[in-house]
Structure 1
Amino acid sequence: MGTLEARTITQALGRMGVSDWPTESRTCVEHGEFKSTKTPGGWTDCPTCNDIRMREAEAERQRVEAAERRQQIADKLLGRAAIPPRFADRSLESYVASTPGAKNALAVATAYANAFEAMLADGSSLIFCGGVGTGKTHLAIGIARRVIDREMVAVFTSVLGAVRSVKETYRKGSDISEEQAIDRLIEPDLLILDEVGVQFGSDTEKMIMFEIINGRYEAVKPTILISNLAVKELETFIGERAFDRLREGGGRVVVFDWPSHRKQA
């Protein structure tokens, strides 16, 4: 019987006028001699042992509750990340690096994810560019998952989706302004912009792209750009100013120039 249970019974019966409980001296192998009291539920155990068990049970309860809270937060952040179902199971651990270039890309992505707090402090970005099917999106989402595991906000979107969300504010009756739409893309700790170069690249779209990249640059927020374009083509497409913003603060360009994993499959 636990100390709390015995005490509760004793207090209850004490209020009924029953106060003379049989006691005897007993010895705990861990804590030595103690006074045991006979109650209707049986003889009480070592109070020190009972206190330890109660503290351990409370600590375990708090640990479980904390784990549940962390999982709820992770689920909420993962939902906000908007990772496409096709890539939902991607992680850094599941990336197959079969070439020297792929191994280097994985090493860069892993180091970036492991040191994301420092990347966030410096606003350090990444540019993944090169051939299709080489795992650029896979590694970017792997980084996002690590960021989410730290209870920070990572958001994945295509450039087309980002531009469309801003252009939606141009229609009459929009609930938010263009500035608010851009702010929503600046707010996350990490923003992943996929398929850079797929859209038509009108002057309006390029201006929106620059506003997003520059806004995150000024807010010291890391961005990961993913493109199938070559480095020079990408720089031309997004503009020299935007490209330079991404390179500042220790930003890196990783070229994915090995054969497509999809063709191998």
Structure 2
Amino acid sequence: MITLNEIKRRAAQGSHKYSWEDLKRLRAEDEARQDERFRKQFHDFKAERTFSRCGVLPIHQNCRVENFELLTQGHRKAADFARWYIDNFYLNNGTGFIFGGQPGAGKNHLAAAICNELMVAGYSCLVITVNELMQKLRACYKASSEVSEDQFLRTMVDFDLLVLDEVGLQRNSDAERLVLNQIVDQRTCRFKPTGMLTNLPAGAEAPDTQTINSVLGVRIMDRMRANGGKWISFQWESYRK
């Protein structure tokens, strides 16, 4: 394919093989590519300015599905899901996931593995705890803040994959539920998948036992089930033991 730079080079040598329409078409194609690159760079800048980091923490940057230790059939099932999720992400219409289980079971490892591979493929990802999310949001209300609440929420919605960590360790206030509902709802409406990591069970027989359903509420959990959302159980001993 002849590029605009090639035409310029030939024109400088006195060759006038291409029409004015060719020049305009090639210029338009080149400008479109520049515009797409600019939009991606601008999004990355906004995300970096808002969160001071994108993707995963340094401790998880080498996490891959292939180096997730397979000790039980449950481990293999979780790893198989992560591999499937990565390989089929280009078809994703908003299918999210919840990794639920004990601390140290590898939920962060596989969530980071998913994000690491997706970011290499050019997708934007963020893993953030609910507490950190709320701290960032509250900082938007300060007079010195360069990011408004609306800009913050739009950035949260813009990520190709958003993973909310430590669901259940937040203050569990109505304000938190409202913000989480707004983010998950907006992402669901735009077919943007959301992942969650939690130590809480999905449900419990005892009415006073805290569960992810009681913490997040019916509306958010209904959104997480939309478009075939999956609950992946990490019910085995901690790797840290």
TM band (smaller chain): 0.7 to 0.9
Q: What is the SS of the residue equivalent to 2:192? A: coil
Q: Quick one: which of 152, 155, 160 aligns to 2:131?
A: 160
Q: Quick one: which of 177, 198, 202 aligns to 2:148?
A: 177
Q: Quick one: which of 130, 137, 143 aligns to 2:101?
A: 130
More strand per residue: 1 or 2?
1
Greater gyration radius: 1
Q: What is the SS of the residue equivalent to 1:192? A: strand
Partner Cα separation in structure 2 for residue 231 and residue 81 of structure 1: 29
Offset of 1:171 from its aligned partner?
A: 2.4
- Among all aligned residue pairs of Structure 1 and Structure 2, give the percentage whose two residues are the same amino acid: 31
Q: What is the SS of the residue equivalent to 2:233? A: strand
Within a 5 Å distance, the mapping from 1:21-60 to structure 2 comes to none
Q: Deviations over 1:171-225 (max 9, x none)?
A: 2343222121111111010111111111111111111111111111111101110
Do the aligned residues in 2 keep the contact of 1:166 with 1:181 (CA within 8 Å)? yes
Q: What is the SS of the residue equivalent to 1:127? A: strand
What is the one-letter code of the residue matched to 2:156?
A: L
Q: Quick one: which of 230, 234, 250 aligns to 2:212?
A: 234
What is the one-letter code of the residue matched to 2:72?
A: T
Asked if 1:225 is matched to 2:202, the reply is no
Q: Which residue of 2 aligns with 1:115?
A: 88
Q: Which residue of 2 aligns with 1:16?
A: none
Q: Deviations over 1:122-167 (max 9, x none)?
A: 1110110111111001000101112112111111111111121112
**Aligned pair in 2 of structure 1 residues 81, 176: CA closer, same or farther (>3 Å)?**
closer
- Which structure 2 residue ranges, 5 or more long, are not aligned? 1-40, 204-210
Q: Which residue of 1 aligns with 2:223?
A: 245
Alignment coverage as a number of residue pairs: 187
Partner Cα separation in structure 1 for residue 164 and residue 133 of structure 2: 8
Q: Which residue of 1 aligns with 2:207?
A: none
Partner Cα separation in structure 2 for residue 158 and residue 96 of structure 1: 24
- Between 1 and 2, higher relative CO (CA 8 Å, sep ≥ 6) is seen in 2
Q: What is the TM-score normalised by the length of structure 2?
A: 0.73
Q: Which residue of 2 aligns with 1:69?
A: none
Offset of 1:170 from its aligned partner?
A: 2.1
Q: What is the SS of the residue equivalent to 2:83? A: helix
What is the one-letter code of the residue matched to 1:160?
A: N
Query: RMSD of the TM alignment (CA)?
Result: 1.9
- Which structure 1 residue ranges, 5 or more long, are not aligned? 1-72
Partner Cα separation in structure 2 for residue 173 and residue 137 of structure 1: 33
Offset of 1:81 from its aligned partner?
A: 2.6
Partner Cα separation in structure 2 for residue 172 and residue 203 of structure 1: 24
